[in-house]
Amino acid sequence: MTILEPMTMVTDYLLGSLAGVLGVLLWRLGRAGGNRTTQLWAGSFLTTAGAAIFGGTAHGFAAMLSPTASVVLWKLTVWSIGLTAFQVLAATATAVLTGTPRRVIIALAALHVALYALWMIWHDDFVWVIAGYLPAVLVALAAQSRSCLRGHAGAGWLVAGLLTTLAGAAVQAGGVAPHASFNHNDLYHVIQMGATVMLYRGAVQARDLSESKP
């Protein structure tokens, strides 16, 4: 058995395991409390877990995969990232908006991810993945920063997690590699693990706007 990128595979699997466990915990918490915001954050963790597991498998077992299997794994990876972006934005909208504005933002986010998913059927470049999730992260960061200034529970942790996510993306895009055996993808996964813990801390405290203090 030949593992082509063992460190990338391992760090991907670690990220996927962490996001998966925290996603399940969040889902149970959100469901028990009827908190839609927490449930949406939970969904984003679970799709992050899926993306990491699919991506790690594609990196590690590329030499043993058929061309079709490689394509399928990559498509599952990028679609999972798109779903993560949608849920991050939907969770934020549920926490900061009510009524028609909330529904409009969520509908636009759903349209965006649908178009992204269709586009990625025929495109593979990672630049399109960035185009799919970066706008959602930036909008969520702006909204959560405003909530943080207003003293809303969990917003500070969410801001920290989103900023760390952007820092990790910059590291990955910039090809920052601390060692020949620990490349930019590996470092990105480790940074994203830290971001995942921060986002979890924020999501545990987050509430739908109807439950929040003004």
**23-40 pLDDT per residue, tens:** 999 999 999 988 999 999
Query: Where is average pLDDT lowest: 26-40, 72-86, 172-186?
Result: 172-186
Q: Are 204 and 32 in contact (CB under 8 A)?
A: no
Reduced to 3 states, what is the DSSP secondary structure of residue 182?
Answer: strand
Kindly report the average pLDDT of the chain as a whole number: 92
One-letter amino acid at 93 equals A
List pLDDT tens digits, range 118-130. 999 999 888 888 8
The set of residues, in sequence order, having a beta carbon less than 8 Å from that of 209 and lying 6+ positions away, is 94, 95, 96, 97, 98, 102
Answer yes or no: is pLDDT of 42 > 90: yes
How far is Cα 10 from Cα 164, in angstroms, rounded to an integer? 21
pLDDT (0 to 100) of residue 3 = 78
pTM as predicted:
0.92
Domain with residues 6-207, CATH architecture: Up-down Bundle (1.20)
pLDDT (0 to 100) of residue 213 = 45
List pLDDT tens digits, range 89-110. 999 999 999 999 999 999 999 9
The set of residues, in sequence order, having a beta carbon less than 8 Å from that of 122 and lying 6+ positions away, is none
The alpha-helical segments, DSSP class H, found in the chain are: 6-33, 36-60, 67-96, 99-122, 126-149, 155-174, 184-205
If you search the block for the tokens 């993808």, which residue do you land on? 185
Give bridge partners of residue 179 from the DSSP assignment. Answer: 182
